[in-house]
Structure 1
Amino acid sequence: MTVDPKAATSAPPQLSSSSIRRLRSYVIETVSSSTRTTGRALKLFAESAAYVVGDIVTGRFHWAECLKQMLFIIRVTALPAILVSIPFGVIVSVQVSSLTQQVGASSMAGAAGGLGVIRQGSPMVSALLLGGAAGSAIAADLGARTIREELDAMRTMGIDPSRNLVAPRLLAMMLIAPMLCVLIIFMGIGVGYVITVSFQDGVPGSYMASFAAFATVTDLVIALVKALIFGLVIVVVACQRGMEASSGPRGVASAVNAAVVIGVIAAFVLNVIITQSVAMFFPARIG
């Protein structure tokens, strides 16, 4: 019995037992590391949230630090939010108006554009700005403090960094994220209205009537809740990465990069989950 050399050479390579063990070990280690990191983040959030509530009730909350962080977040996100909302509103308005004109439903341009901005556009733009501007700055600040051993010095003196550093930033993000979302909604809908009425021969009354017929208070509340959740996730991830930075300036840069990437990806994943849940329990209908 002869063996065809071509068949022998074309057989797929087999993984050795050592390669399978290494692959299995890598997968297990990756999953375990991700689980531990998520657990530390949840623990940091629980501790900081408890400090926020407890210190506000007892009058020991660091309001000066919280106000400082609020002003900082506003300074780094307000102007970019306006600059991003203008082209975003233009793009949504042009695309929606073009589609509604093709199907003969020009009167629905206001509803389609407004709902797109409120339900999806404003929370996601808020998450991108909070993660890219505020989250990166928070991670860099705490990372620099970590490599200078300031956090170790605070713990040595009996001061909990979660109470003095994380809790004020957590509350500041909780207060600013919904307001930033409202600013983006206002700018996006306003720009869409101007573009539709001024450049696409839209009727002002029809635009506002269709928008009012479909948009409800529930849509606004859901958008604000989304922005709040995204802000919480971003600030917790940024604080954790900054407080766990190591290896000098390179470690701080890695922490900042990880904070931005993980925060934004987590916001996108949560947005999909929340959107699907809202679609099931709060379907769109004419108000």
Structure 2
Amino acid sequence: MVRLVLALISWAWHTLLGSIGTFGRLVLLAADSTTGLIRDILALRHPWRETLTQAWFMMSVSGWPAILIAVPFGAIIQVQIGSLAAQVGATSQAGAAGGLGVIRQGAPMVSGILLGGAVGAAIAADLGARTIREEIDAIRTLGINPNHRLVAPRLAAMVLVGPLLCILIVFVGMSTIYMMTLVQGGVPGAFFNSFAAFAGTTDLIVAMVKTIIFGVLVVFVASQRGFEAQGGPKGVADCVNATVVIGIMTTFAANVLITQLLSIWLPDSMGF
């Protein structure tokens, strides 16, 4: 019994130390990649062609899934809110409630999940395969910083793609809610009036900023897991799996934190 307790304590201690070390390496990678990106942009030597290539790749793997998720997501929101609004006699406000739900929480979270699941997995698989083939070591041998050469372009691409993906989900989700409102017997004028009375440009800006933050976190997590892949193809598969799980969990945690902070700083906006 004593040996079991000591073994559990030793396991917990080593796990804690390992987690702290992993987090520390993540922070160092994020700081180095960000400073390298800013320095290269200011020095006019940033590889924009690679950034645009990565941006197109990210949009290609997340665009259609975003549309396919936004349609049922908007429909479910409107069905639930429309039914509740009809029971309390506030049918004219159903459009505003559904729209706010999509813009403030739905679009950023769907974007974060897609970025963590599709884009993050692709980044981790690419960098993990390069690590297994010792390409990353070869890059370091040539005196090139892989954080600046590989992570920074993906970071810049994510900053470009994140807001576009968020806007796409908002557009598709709002269109779905509008169509569902008409199917439920709503009036188009009442839908737009109620939505305009409660929603504003700030809502969309905050949603896009959220998406950028989620995407940046996913890039850092995926890059670190890819750089630390080991053990052949199985190691690449493990780093992809870890990227998806950690990326989505980080997105949810960041969303809760940002929502709480905004509810404190912007109480008049009812908490984004």
Equivalent-residue separation in structure 1 for 2:18 and 2:2 (angstroms):
24
Is 1:103 aligned with 2:83? no
The residue aligned with 1:155 is 140
The residue aligned with 2:227 is 243
Q: Could you list the per-position Cα deviations for residues 244-265 of structure 1 after superposition, in whole angstroms to 9, with x for gaps in the alignment? A: 1000000000000000100000
Equivalent-residue separation in structure 2 for 1:30 and 1:186 (angstroms):
44
State the one-letter code of the partner of 2:44: G
Q: Could you list the per-position Cα deviations for residues 3-62 of structure 1 after superposition, in whole angstroms to 9, with x for gaps in the alignment? A: xxxxxxxxxxxxx33322222222221111111111111111111111111001111111
Q: Structure 1: where are the runs of 5+ without partners? A: 1-15
The residue aligned with 1:134 is 119
> Shift of the alpha carbon at 1:84?
1.0
> Shift of the alpha carbon at 1:285?
5.1
The residue aligned with 2:164 is 179
Equivalent-residue separation in structure 2 for 1:34 and 1:108 (angstroms):
47
TM-score, length basis structure 1: 0.91
The residue aligned with 1:254 is 238
Equivalent-residue separation in structure 2 for 1:134 and 1:284 (angstroms):
35
Equivalences, count? 270
- Counterparts of residues 1-287 of structure 1 (less than 5 Å): 16-197=1-182, 199-284=183-268
Q: Pick which of 140-149 and 267-276 moved more.
A: 267-276
Equivalent-residue separation in structure 1 for 2:17 and 2:84 (angstroms):
48
Q: Could you list the per-position Cα deviations for residues 145-173 of structure 1 after superposition, in whole angstroms to 9, with x for gaps in the alignment? A: 00000000111111111111010001101
Equivalent-residue separation in structure 2 for 1:99 and 1:285 (angstroms):
22
Residue identity over aligned pairs, in percent, reads 54
TM-score, length basis structure 2: 0.96
Q: Is the contact between residue 130 and residue 234 of structure 1 (CA under 8 Å) also seen in structure 2? A: yes
> Shift of the alpha carbon at 1:94?
0.9
Q: Is the contact between residue 62 and residue 115 of structure 2 (CA under 8 Å) also seen in structure 1? A: yes
State the one-letter code of the partner of 2:98: G
> Shift of the alpha carbon at 1:134?
0.8
Equivalent-residue separation in structure 1 for 2:188 and 2:246 (angstroms):
42
Q: Pick which of 17-26 and 214-223 moved more.
A: 17-26
Q: What SS does the aligned partner of 1:113 have?
A: helix
Q: Is the contact between residue 146 and residue 246 of structure 1 (CA under 8 Å) also seen in structure 2? A: yes
Q: Is the contact between residue 263 and residue 269 of structure 2 (CA under 8 Å) also seen in structure 1? A: no
Q: Pick which of 105-114 and 247-256 moved more.
A: 105-114
Q: Pick which of 107-116 and 214-223 moved more.
A: 214-223
Equivalent-residue separation in structure 2 for 1:204 and 1:281 (angstroms):
34
Q: Is the contact between residue 214 and residue 284 of structure 1 (CA under 8 Å) also seen in structure 2? A: no
Q: What SS does the aligned partner of 2:267 have?
A: coil
Q: Structure 2: where are the runs of 5+ without partners? A: none
